[in-house]
Amino acid sequence: MKIVLVGHGMVGHKFLEALRQLQFPAADVTVLGEEPRTAYDRVHLSDFFAGKTAEDLSLVEPGFFADTGFDLRLNSRAAAIDRRAKTVTTQDGVTLSYDKLVLATGSYPFVPPVKGSDRGQCFVYRTIEDLEAMKEASAISRKGVVVGGGLLGLECAKALRDLGLETHVVEFAPRLMAVQVDDDGGRILRSKIEALGVQVHTERNTLEITDGRQARHRMVFADGSHLETDMIVFSAGIRPRDELARQNALAVGARGGIAIDDQCRTSDPDIYAIGECAAWRDQTFGLVAPGYEMARIAARQLAGEAGAVFAGADMSTKLKLMGVDVASIGDAHGRTPGCRSFRYTDECKQIYKKIVVSADGKHLLGAVLVGNADEYGTLLQMALNGIALPEAPEFLILPAGDGKARPGLGAHELPDSAQICSCNNVSKEQICTAVAEGATSIGEIKACTQAGATCGGCVPLVTQIMKAEMAKLGMAVTDHLCEHFPHSRQELYHLVRVGGIRSFDELLARHGRGLGCDICKPTAASIFASCWNDFVLKGELASLQDSNDYFLGNIQKDGSYSVVPRMPGGEVTPDGLIAVAQVAKKYGLYTKITGGQRVDLFGARVEQLPLIWEELIAAGFESGHAYGKSLRTVKSCVGSTWCRYGVQDSVGLAVELENRYKGLRAPHKIKFGVSGCTRECAEAQGKDVGIIATERGWNLYVCGNGGMKPRHAELIASDLDKTALVRLIDRFLMFYIRTADRLQRTSTWRDNLEGGLDYLKAVLIDDSLGIGDELERQMQHVVDTYQCEWKTAVTDPGVRRRFRSFVNDPQPDARIVFVEERGQIRPARADERVPALAATAELST
C-alpha cells in the first residue's frame, strides 16, 4: 500500500510512529514536509529562547527513518492533488502516486487584515524560523507588542519579556484568554500579568500600522489611541491549512478545516486528515492531544482495524504563563443547561477558582483556576471519569483553612482505565505496569510510558500514582538510603541539620540501625560536611570517607592515586606550571590536561601523596578536590580581557566563583562554566552551573550535564549583576544539596523535580518557600569555614601517618608497576606485570 503523508509536524510524526508500532509491513510510506527540518516539539517552542536548540526540540529519534524505511522529503510542499489519478505534486514538480493520502498540514497563524501588517519587523509565532527571526529583531529593539491575548499570545509575551524588551499585549476582547477563562478569572490573570511588567491593553482594535516617531512602528487603534513599538508579533489565533482540500473539492467544516468522519476520513475515502487541519463535526482542535489521537486512529484504520474511531477530545488545559497558573477544564463557562457554579476569589493572593457542577450536583462539568492550579489533576479526573462529587463540592476549591486535608482524590479512586496523560494517552494502568516492571522515578516513567513527556501538566498526578503503586507493591522503601536508615537522603539531611548531629554514631543511634555501610557512611560524611564543614579527616569522620576522600586523591585501577592541584578558572602562572612540572618529574608522574582546565598527575603511591602535596603547597597550590563529591572546576574562556568578542571578564568571575565554592561538599560533583559572550567557548550550558556574559551582566543557566547523559542547562535569570548572580547560585547550590538524592547530579535532580523549572525558579527567585535567606546563610558558613584539606592533612602528624602502603613496613607496594608509553608512565597490564608478580605468586602456592 502506497501511503503519502503531507506535513511532518507533531501529528504527522505521531502518525509515522503509530505505523511503526503497528508493524504495518505492507506500507510504503513517503513523507512530504514543507519545513526545512523534521518534526519538532512545537508545544515547547518557547524553550528555544531558553537555550534549547532545534535538535533538543526534535521529536525524531536518531535512526527513525533509516530503521523504518519511510522516505522523508523535506523542503517539499505538496502543491496539488489529482484525486482521480491519485497523485500528489510538490511545488518543484515531483509527482507521487498514492493509494492512501494523509493530510497533516496543521494550521497557520492568522494575521488580521490590518493595513501595514506587512511592514518589516512584524512576526508570527509558529516555527523555529519565526523564533530565529524574532530573536534577531529583538537585538535591535527596545519595545515589543503582541497582538492577541490568548494562550499563545501570552506565551509569546513572556518570550519577548525574557528577550529583555518592554512588552505589551494588545487584545481585541475585553479580557485575556477569552476562550479558556471567564470575566473574573480574566481580571485576576490580567493583574498578575501586569505585576510581572507586561502591559495589557484590552478592547483595542488595531486599524493601521504606520511609521512611529519614537519607535519603528505606530499602531493606531479604533478608539483613536495609539501605541509605538519596534517589533510586533501577531498571535491572533490560528486557521487550519485546508487549502489542498478546498482546491480539490473535499468537504470542509463550517468554520474551516478539512471535514473528517469518525474514521478520520475526508469526503474522499482514500484521503485522511489528522491534527489541526482537520474538522470533526465542524470542530477543529488547536491542541496536540486530539491530533495525536487522530494520528493513532488513522494509522489503525489504514492497518485494517475498522473498529478504531475518533470520539472527540477533551480540551482541558493547564499552563503556566509567566509563572501564573491558569487552567480550564470542560465546560468552563457553564453553558450546560441547569448547571450551577461555585466560585472562590482571593484578591490579595490573586487567586480565582470556579467549578461548574451538574444540575443534580453530583458531577463536575468544568472548572477555571487562575493563580493556583494545584487542584487541576484532581478536578480533571473527576470530570473525565464522572466520579461522584463529595457532599460539599465547594471544599474542592476552598483553601484548607482549618488545617484539615482537602477532599482530594486518592490515586486508588481512579479507575485503571483513567487517562492520566492526555497528550500521550497514557492510562493509570500503564503507569502501574511500568512501576511493576521496575520504573521507580518520574524520569523512568517518562522514558518508558511517555506520560508527562509532552506538556508536563500531569506530572504531579503521575508521581502520585507511581508512589501509591510502589507502596502497594511494597517498593516504597526505595527512597530509603540503605538498610541502615529508613530515610531518604533529603530526610537525613534535615535530621542532621535540625538535630545538630555531628557524628555517625549519633546519627545511627538516633535514626538508624546496624553498623552502616559504604552507602550511608559517605552520604553522612557528605551531609556533615555540607552542614558543619569540619575537616573531613578529623577523628571519626575519617572512617566514613570513601577511599578517595580518605586519601584525598582519586584511586586508579592499580591502587595508585592521582593528584590535581586547583587552578581557579583554569588560570595558572608560568611559575606555577614549572612547579607542577618539577613535582611530576621528581615523582615520575604521568601528566594530562583535564577537561576542566587543569593538570592531573597520575601514578602517586599513598606514601608519596603527602610529600607531593607539601611541595605543591609550598608553590602556592591548594587541593583541587578532584576526589570529592564537591565543586570541581569553573571552566572559563578568556573573555573581554583578551577576546575581541568578549563583553565581560569571564576569567575574573570564574576565579572568584571557584574560590567561593571550593571545598563545598554536595550529593555529587558540581561543575561550572563561564563564557565571556554568547559564542559560549567555555561550554557553560553543559555544566551544573553555566554563566554567559551579556552586554548588561550575566545570564545564569542551571542543571546542565556533559558525560553519560548530556543535557543542556536551562536559563533561569538574565542580565544579573554579580551580587544578584552570587546570591542566586548560593540558593541554587544549597537547595540542591538539601533536596537531592545520593549521587544525583543536578541534571537528574532537575528531571525528577516535581513542578520542574517553574518550581525551581519560584523557590530560587521568588523565594516561594521562604528559605532564601536561610540557604544563603548556610552557604556563607561553608564559604567562611573553608580550609585546604591537604594543608591540614600534611601538618597533622596523626593524619599524615596513615599515608603508607603497609602499617608494619616502610617499603612501597611492589604491585604498582609502570611501563613507559609515549614518553610517560602507565600502569602495566597483567601480562606485562608477570615478572614482577611472580615472586608474590610463588609465595601463595
Ligand X SMILES: Cc1cc2nc3c(=O)[nH]c(=O)nc-3n(C[C@H](O)[C@H](O)[C@H](O)COP(=O)(O)OP(=O)(O)OC[C@H]3O[C@@H](n4cnc5c(N)ncnc54)[C@H](O)[C@@H]3O)c2cc1C
Contact indicator for 704, 711 with CB cutoff of 8 Å? yes
Q: Binders of ligand X among 248-287, rule CB under 6 A? A: 275-276, 286-287
Contact indicator for 668, 691 with CB cutoff of 8 Å? no
3-state SS, residue 147 = strand
Candidate ranges 296-304, 353-361, 654-662, 832-840; the one touching other proteins (CB under 8 A): 832-840
* Axis-axis angle for helices 442-449, 428-436 (nearest 10): 110
Q: Among 333, 135, 140, 122, which residue's Cα sits nearest to residue 236?
A: 122
- CB of residue 787 vs other proteins: minimum separation in angstroms? 20
Helix/strand/coil (H, E, C) string of 672-741?
A: EEEECCCCCCCCHHHCCEEEEEECCEEEEEECCECCCCCECCEEEEEEECHHHHHHHHHHHHHHHHHHCC
Q: Where are the alpha helices (DSSP H) in 230-287?
A: 243-247
Contact indicator for 158, 321 with CB cutoff of 8 Å? yes
**Contact mark string toward ligand SF4, 660..679, x via CB under 6 A:** ---------------xxx-x
Q: Among 6, 225, 177, 228, which residue's Cα sits nearest to residue 100?
A: 6
Decide if residue 319 touches ligand X (CB under 6 A): yes
Decide if residue 152 touches ligand X (CB under 6 A): yes
- CB of residue 369 vs ligand X: minimum separation in angstroms? 16
In terms of CB distance, is 173 or 743 closer to other proteins? 743
In terms of CB distance, is 155 or 658 closer to ligand X? 155
Q: For the chain, what's the residue count?
A: 845
Q: Binders of other proteins among 526-545, rule CB under 8 A? A: 540, 542-544
Contact indicator for 354, 346 with CB cutoff of 8 Å? no
**Contact mark string toward other proteins, 780..819, x via CB under 8 A:** ----------------------x--xxxxx-x-x-xx---
Q: Binders of ligand SF4 among 678-707, rule CB under 6 A? A: 679-681
Decide if residue 242 touches ligand X (CB under 6 A): no
In terms of CB distance, is 12 or 663 closer to ligand X? 12
Cell readout for 115 is: 493595513
Contact indicator for 502, 534 with CB cutoff of 8 Å? yes
Decide if residue 596 touches ligand X (CB under 6 A): no
In terms of CB distance, is 484 or 669 closer to other proteins? 484
Q: In whole angstroms, how far apart are CA 592 and each of 562, 585, 600, 762?
A: 10, 13, 5, 42
In terms of CB distance, is 154 or 536 closer to other proteins? 536
Candidate ranges 33-41, 140-148, 359-367, 472-480; the one touching ligand X (CB under 6 A): 33-41
Candidate ranges 56-64, 271-279, 636-644, 745-753; the one touching ligand SF4 (CB under 6 A): 636-644
Binding partner of residue 514 among ligand SF4, other proteins, ligand X, none, CB cut-off 5 to 8 Å per kind? other proteins
Pairing of strands 631-636, 670-675: parallel
- CB of residue 343 vs other proteins: minimum separation in angstroms? 58
Binding partner of residue 417 among ligand X, ligand SF4, other proteins, none, CB cut-off 5 to 8 Å per kind? none
- CB of residue 539 vs ligand X: minimum separation in angstroms? 55
- CB of residue 286 vs ligand X: minimum separation in angstroms? 6
Decide if residue 602 touches other proteins (CB under 8 A): no
Binding partner of residue 212 among ligand SF4, other proteins, ligand X, none, CB cut-off 5 to 8 Å per kind? none
Number of residues that bind other proteins (CB under 8 A): 40
- CB of residue 639 vs ligand SF4: minimum separation in angstroms? 5
Binding partner of residue 104 among ligand SF4, ligand X, other proteins, none, CB cut-off 5 to 8 Å per kind? ligand X
Among 71, 132, 305, 518, binds other proteins (CB under 8 A): 518
Q: In whole angstroms, how far apart are CA 320 and each of 152, 209, 324, 550?
A: 11, 31, 5, 47
Decide if residue 522 touches other proteins (CB under 8 A): yes
Q: Binders of other proteins among 488-517, rule CB under 8 A? A: 514-517
Q: Cα–Cα distance between 598 and 576 in angstroms, integer?
A: 11
Decide if residue 554 touches other proteins (CB under 8 A): no
Among 75, 246, 575, 645, binds ligand SF4 (CB under 6 A): 645
Q: Cα–Cα distance between 311 and 840 in angstroms, integer?
A: 77
Q: Binders of other proteins among 152-211, rule CB under 8 A? A: none
Taking the C-alpha atoms of 408, 411, 414 and 417 in order, what is their torsion angle to the nearest 10 degrees? 150
Q: Cα–Cα distance between 233 and 101 in angstroms, integer?
A: 34
Q: Among 212, 205, 202, which residue's Cα sits nearest to residue 144?
A: 212
3-state SS, residue 742 = coil
Decide if residue 743 touches other proteins (CB under 8 A): no
Q: Among 388, 385, 387, 400, which residue's Cα sits nearest to residue 344?
A: 400
Binding partner of residue 557 among other proteins, ligand SF4, ligand X, none, CB cut-off 5 to 8 Å per kind? other proteins
Among 200, 637, 729, 760, binds ligand SF4 (CB under 6 A): 637
Q: Cα–Cα distance between 92 and 714 in angstroms, integer?
A: 40
Decide if residue 483 touches other proteins (CB under 8 A): yes
Contact indicator for 697, 725 with CB cutoff of 8 Å? yes
Exposed e or buried b per residue across 4-13, where buried means at least 16 C-beta atoms within 10 angstroms of its C-beta: bbbbbbbbbb
Q: What is the DSSP letter of 326?
A: E
Decide if residue 42 touches ligand X (CB under 6 A): yes
Q: Cα–Cα distance between 436 and 808 in angstroms, integer?
A: 53
Cell readout for 505 is: 554514631
Binding partner of residue 286 among ligand X, ligand SF4, other proteins, none, CB cut-off 5 to 8 Å per kind? ligand X
Binding partner of residue 42 among ligand X, ligand SF4, other proteins, none, CB cut-off 5 to 8 Å per kind? ligand X
Decide if residue 77 touches ligand X (CB under 6 A): yes
Binding interface with ligand X (CB under 6 A): 6-12, 32-35, 42-43, 45-46, 77-78, 104-106, 125-126, 152, 155, 241, 244, 275-276, 286-289, 291, 319, 455
Binding interface with ligand SF4 (CB under 6 A): 637-639, 643, 645-646, 650, 675-677, 679-681
Binding interface with other proteins (CB under 8 A): 483-484, 514-518, 520-522, 540, 542-544, 546-548, 550-551, 555, 557-559, 802, 805-809, 811, 813, 815-816, 830, 833, 839-840, 843-845
